[in-house]
Amino acid sequence: MKLIAQYMGHDDELYNFLYQSHDLSVHRIDSLDDQVHGDILIVCDQVLHYNDLHVLAKYTHQKKYYLYHKNEDEQTISQIETICDSANITMVPVEGTVDQQARCIIDSLGPSDAQRRSNVVCCFSTIANIGLTSTVLSVATSIQSVVEGKIGVLGLNAWDDGVDHLPYKGKYLNEVKTQLTNQLLTPERLRSYFHYDDKLKFHYLGGNQNTKMERLFTTQEIDYLITLAQKAFDLVIIDAGSHFDNANLLRSLLNSDLKLLIVNQQRKAIKKFEQQFQHVISPLGYTKTDFLLILNAYVDDPGLPSEKDIYTDLGIPYLTSVPSLNHIGISSETHQKLLYFYENSMYQEAIDHIARGIIGRTRLKVKQTVTHTKPRRRWQILTRLGV
């Protein structure tokens, strides 16, 4: 039986080729306002910008494809791939002959054999107290629940230890500074300094808790720590904080392949990024397409900036929005319980969206068997992650 595919784009030659395929029954749609249903949805970048791919989430097709004309630099293309991975969308480069493009779609109905990429992800914000750490820890929880290997979270915020959301029992960044200076650690020794418990499953090194040391960490120390963590873990997620006047955040940016900017709807957060980009980030050689944008604690209110308002103003590729949970954030700190465990479906789906992007970008190996004390909960996570 042929799979039913819907095509939205301007390439008549490709549409006609797919239409004649023995594998697909293809129907053309002019917009997403049409009746959109079937097994496969194929959308071209000429009719839908990559920043708007999130609108495809409401459609229930088993497979979604985004045809992209490679007229951007390689970094931008990598960012678009991550956006697609996070939304369970397969990106198909529009290059070569029509036959090759169509075959790419048909062949990609099978599993991907793509090679694994860099295993360092840097998460940072522009102002403090917007939920950066809680989001990072929730994302790590989501990823660790479905992948093999070890996940390590580095708290490199020099102004905050970042342990308010869990009963922390590991060492802190300031406590390992001497070993970083003298470079006396092994991957195994470093891993033993991290907090770990059977519920979280991932490893976590808390940030700095010594006020006198906020600006004393050196580029060499942070570079050594990140490099060693790469050997100790299959994935390293960095909580780099929001302060650009120290080596911690700048070195984290330099050592990471995937860079996630997390802001909220405050005008100050957007203004600060523009200032930081002009004075610090751009002189380092970065462009705005080197980053992916996450809107945290998002409130859908006509009196506040919308998602599109913010990502258009910033000019940064948009990944997703994490909804505000209001007072639950305070409860999370009070009870030392991560927000991900509060069973709020909208919040969990947003976190899983980010997790999919990271899993796809780093090509982490997803678990093939289910071993969990709560099988139903495990099944829900796998379903949300699309694995």
Q: Is the pLDDT of residue 372 over 80?
A: no
**Domains present along the chain, CATH in parentheses:** 3-107 (3.40.50.2300), 120-385 (3.40.50.300)
Least confident of 12-26, 88-102, 105-119: 105-119
Per residue in 45-92, pLDDT (tens digit) is: 989 999 999 999 888 888 899 998 877 788 888 899 999 999 989 888
pTM: 0.79
Strands 235-239 and 151-155: parallel
For 58, which DSSP code?
A: G
Closest among 290, 136, 261, 256 to 204, alpha carbons compared: 136
CA-closest candidate to residue 256, choices 266, 248, 265: 248
The pLDDT tens digits of the residues spanning 296-312 come to: 999 999 999 999 999 99
Tokens of 200: 């979280």
